Amino acid sequence: MTGPCEISFQPIGRRISVPVGTTIYDAARECGVELTSACGGEGRCGLCRVEPVSGDVSEADAAELAVVGAQADDGLRLACRVHIRGEVAVRIPETSMLSGPRLQVAGVTVPVELDPVVVAYQIHMAKATLTDPRADLDRILDALSEQHQVTVTGAHSDVIRVIGDSLRDNDWSVTVFVREDHVVGLAAPGATPLGLAVDLGTTKIAAHLLDLTTGENLGASGVPNPQIVYGEDVISRLEHAYRNPEGGDRLANVVREAINGVAHDLIEMAGRRPNELVDACIVGNTAMVHLLLGYPIKQLIKAPFIGSSARPIDVAAAGIGLKAAPGALVHVPGAIGGFVGADHVAMILASGIGLAERTILGIDIGTNTEIVLSKAGAGHLTATSCASGPAFEGAHIIDGMRAAAGAIERVVITDVGVEYKTIGEVPPIGLCGSGIVDAVAELHRHGIVNPRGRFEKAHPRVTMGENGAQFVLAGGDVSGSGRDVVITQHDVNEIQLAKGAIHAGVEILLEVTETPPDDIDAVIIAGAFGSFLTIDSAIDIGLIPRLPRAGYRQVGNAAVVGAIRMLVSAAERQRAEDILDDTGYEELTVQPVFGRRFAMGMLLPDLQRNRDRGRTR
């Protein structure tokens, strides 16, 4: 390859075209991605470590290998020594990034009555003697019966392997963790059970650690989903898993390691121990759950996109690489249908959609957008999903990036220029999802693009760039990369495609449930992107409907809140199963009107008519 080639940086999703021969370090700097460095790119400090995960790059020489050391075996290279020879995807470890992506780990919470499936009992036993030669497990079961009046009939075999040491190391006083009628773990006296709630998203993993006795949230953390280097959307990851002999194992392993890493860090930060982790609840979309659990995915790739199982399951924590009590299980709720998975069930559970006698539309916007409608009086919910693509995550947008330092997240076009706000309040290097939506809305409001999304009005900031017509949001004199940060004709069209799919999903859901749009009482917007979205901008580009009676509520990461509820309450786990039974699934692509609704949805709405409608109450 001789011409310019594209390099993409993950997990922040920044891309740039550079000439063949450019170093990864220089390419990163050129697009404003700040790698750590103490030697200015001289190959001496070893701080700029990155992992080229695909594509053609130069070989490491002896000097580079000496600096990288043992991490060379894990594929790590010095960004300042690697020359690009073709299209390349590069993973930047957290330690090599000056500032990482903003990952939303929290959502709106409402209290739930504690009713965990694992309970802790403190017991004290007399030492074993020749005159009392009961086996260790019998001694524990007897103590539970005598001291707590609970009938426990056995223990997980891996618990039995640690019983002997645990009793003797703790001088015959221990904490026993019991699930139903089985011992699942032992810990030092006074310990309380821990639970881990995880939202396994396509882009990020959010986790919370809870004390199951008190319900106290001991800490939360988020990391990018490391599978992203194998594909930005679920379909490309499923393809990778299907087409490569070890692809499925690779995708399962990286995500299991990431979850275990987050759990380990949270437990350590809370000053607790892994053997106190006795329960977990992991939610994710159908593809994420299949890849995590190692389910076959061949049938998920082709129509009719059937999952191996849609039922809830409890799997051994050890089976998915989670360091926990020996008998700890991980609960994975069931899926509704298609790609509408356990995360959407958790979102419905957390947001209370369906509990109130009101008509509520719930939208979780992501690479795959899930939509659910609870119609007042219907007695059931209806859900669907649409492939909205990764544009709202900044992908396929010329200057798009994930929500990280330097991303423009707010845009206002004024008479004298452009006002913008960046994450971290540093000079801009690109646009994240909420900034892109704001920018398109502003271009539309000012008539700079027409309803078909074409740049048409002459404006001092509209120029012709290498990608065609573009609007300059920030000039190279003020940007963090020295290059203009722009939104192009191509970008506007990408957003139109994404929002057209969501618009079609909402319209069809209303049609199949015979729900007049004006009946909608509330719109709940879930997900990280949705929580940073400017509602007016989303309405003005037609991403979400402006509805006369609707109140809009942004609930953040409701999926992880649902996972927390299922973790601390068996009743909530049951309610999630009821949601599965009560929610029908509509496949959009079989709807004859889908194409027409999608095409209509791509248009930017008539703002005046839209506002008049919003005023009608």
* 316: its two tokens: 């051994």
Decide: residue 599, CB within 10 A, 0-12 exposed, 13-18 middle, 19+ buried: exposed
Q: Are 499 and 601 in contact (CB under 8 A)?
A: yes
Minimum distance from residue 64 beta carbon to ligand FES (Å): 9
Q: Are 608 and 406 in contact (CB under 8 A)?
A: no
Q: Are 475 and 570 in contact (CB under 8 A)?
A: no
Specify the residue, 35 or 234, whose C-beta has the smaller distance to ligand FES: 35
Q: Are 325 and 177 in contact (CB under 8 A)?
A: yes
Cα-Cα-Cα-Cα dihedral sign, residues 15, 19, 20, 23:
negative
Specify the residue, 43 or 100, whose C-beta has the smaller distance to ligand FES: 43
Report d(CA 390, CA 381) in Å as an integer: 27
Minimum distance from residue 63 beta carbon to ligand FES (Å): 10
Minimum distance from residue 90 beta carbon to ligand FES (Å): 14
Specify the residue, 48 or 524, whose C-beta has the smaller distance to ligand FES: 48
Calculate the alpha carbon distances from 420 to 4, 333, 409 in Å: 31, 41, 7
Q: Are 167 and 136 in contact (CB under 8 A)?
A: yes
Interacting residue ranges for ligand FES, rule: CB under 6 A: 37, 39, 41-48, 78-80
Minimum distance from residue 106 beta carbon to ligand FES (Å): 35
Cα-Cα-Cα-Cα dihedral sign, residues 350, 352, 353, 359:
negative
Specify the residue, 44 or 461, whose C-beta has the smaller distance to ligand FES: 44
Report d(CA 608, CA 548) in Å as an integer: 14
Minimum distance from residue 9 beta carbon to ligand FES (Å): 15
* 393: its two tokens: 């995550």
Calculate the alpha carbon distances from 37 to 34, 70, 73, 81, 480 in Å: 9, 19, 21, 13, 17
Specify the residue, 7 or 241, whose C-beta has the smaller distance to ligand FES: 7
Report d(CA 212, CA 110) in Å as an integer: 16
DSSP helix/strand/coil, 342 = helix
Minimum distance from residue 72 beta carbon to ligand FES (Å): 13
Minimum distance from residue 77 beta carbon to ligand FES (Å): 10
Specify the residue, 63 or 269, whose C-beta has the smaller distance to ligand FES: 63
DSSP helix/strand/coil, 580 = helix
Minimum distance from residue 21 beta carbon to ligand FES (Å): 17
Specify the residue, 99 or 213, whose C-beta has the smaller distance to ligand FES: 99
Report d(CA 575, CA 581) in Å as an integer: 10
Specify the residue, 67 or 163, whose C-beta has the smaller distance to ligand FES: 67
Minimum distance from residue 417 beta carbon to ligand FES (Å): 36
Specify the residue, 29 or 204, whose C-beta has the smaller distance to ligand FES: 29
Angle between helices 157-169 and 136-148 (to 10 degrees): 80
Specify the residue, 45 or 137, whose C-beta has the smaller distance to ligand FES: 45
Closest by CA position to 399, among listed 365, 422, 417: 422
Specify the residue, 34 or 136, whose C-beta has the smaller distance to ligand FES: 34
Residue 227's identity, in one-letter code, is Q
Minimum distance from residue 75 beta carbon to ligand FES (Å): 16
Specify the residue, 39 or 316, whose C-beta has the smaller distance to ligand FES: 39
Residue at token pair 């499925």: 248
Residue 578's identity, in one-letter code, is D
Minimum distance from residue 67 beta carbon to ligand FES (Å): 6
Element (H, E) at 579: helix 570-582
Minimum distance from residue 48 beta carbon to ligand FES (Å): 4
Specify the residue, 58 or 213, whose C-beta has the smaller distance to ligand FES: 58
Helix/strand/coil percent split, the chain, to 5:
35, 25, 40
Q: Are 526 and 199 in contact (CB under 8 A)?
A: no
Closest by CA position to 158, among listed 400, 375, 328, 289: 328
Report d(CA 534, CA 532) in Å as an integer: 7
- Strands, E assignment, 360-502: 360-364, 368-374, 381-387, 407-413, 418-422, 430-431, 462-465, 468-474, 485-488
* 42: its two tokens: 């001289």
Minimum distance from residue 82 beta carbon to ligand FES (Å): 10
Cross-strand pairs, 89: 8, 54
